[in-house]
Chain A
Amino acid sequence: MSGRVERDGHVGWLEHTLAGITSSIERAVFTEEHARSRGWLQAVDPRAKLGMFLVVILAASLSSSIVVEVGLYAIILGAAAASRVPFDFFVKRVWLGIPLFAGIVVIPAIFFVPGPRLFDLPLGPIQLAPSIPGLIGAVLFIARVGVSVSLAVLLVLTTPWADLLKSLQTIRVPQLFVLILAMAYRYIFLFLHLANGMFEARKSRLVARTSGSEQRRYISGTIGNLVNRSIKMSNDVYAAMAARGFTGSIRSFQADRMGMADWLSLVGAVAVAVVAVIASRSLA
């Protein structure tokens, strides 16, 4: 987008936001490339995989030992490598965000938790004195978050979105909710593209400076137009569903039964989780 049009239009921020959301979703779709590659986790039934990841996340949350967290993380990295997920892509995706969010949450604890201080540095009216128990707690917290987020990211990277949704039914998420989630994911992408197209169409016809009120009117008009189109489309989608026998209750296809390899993977993950919890208690 040229700077000139941005200055004239003043809707560049909205256009950028929409383009950003669209490209994020496209990236998310693009990452299904990993979910479709031939790796260890990709071959595991999504229901087994969901169970495996949930028990390990539970173990990481119950553990109070940094050594155990590091051990779990090493296992996750091994699983990612066995699943052909690129190492740097996986590590960056997890650790670029965690220091920002988890770090901000635990910073106060480093200074307020009582106990011996690592050092005591007077800085004018305040004293910078991080406590050793506070630091250990912060590192443990970040390690737990890191392990849990790594597991979630690995699950998403190695499982197609549709399979992930279906596996939610095994933990008793209602079918109607799963269908609504799937349809929301399906159509939000379509409408974001539509909104981007509308902004591009406006940009291509913009030949003079527009006033603030005109721009606000344009944005509200665009929102109204999208709402109208979404209502029309929802009516058409309902008609298409009714035309194929939908009467309000959802029936879904039951996937094949889990195989021996899936059960073994699940049992293995449970064993890892149990060992992690016991080891954590022993080390404590």
Chain B
Amino acid sequence: MSDLSQDPGLGPGTQNAPVNSRTLPAAPEGRSSEFVAVTGAEAESTSATAMLVTAYALFWVLLLGFAWMTWRRQQRLADRLNQIELRVANIDTGEKK
């Protein structure tokens, strides 16, 4: 319990958190035989590093997604420009004939 509460990655509320049954030995007498209501914050078990990495990855995923959407739009504009060029070329050819 003391090791868990001193982890610098853990958030507030862990100092007074209830004992996590997963940290206890799995002896039959150590298992929960009932569930009782407790007050105070739930023990935080998610890794702070995982949160940081996920947030940073999401930033890049969103940026690359935005860049990809911009590129797609640019491609569509290039296609429309090609269509215009073709139509103008056809008009020019028709006028020359």
A and B together in one complex = no
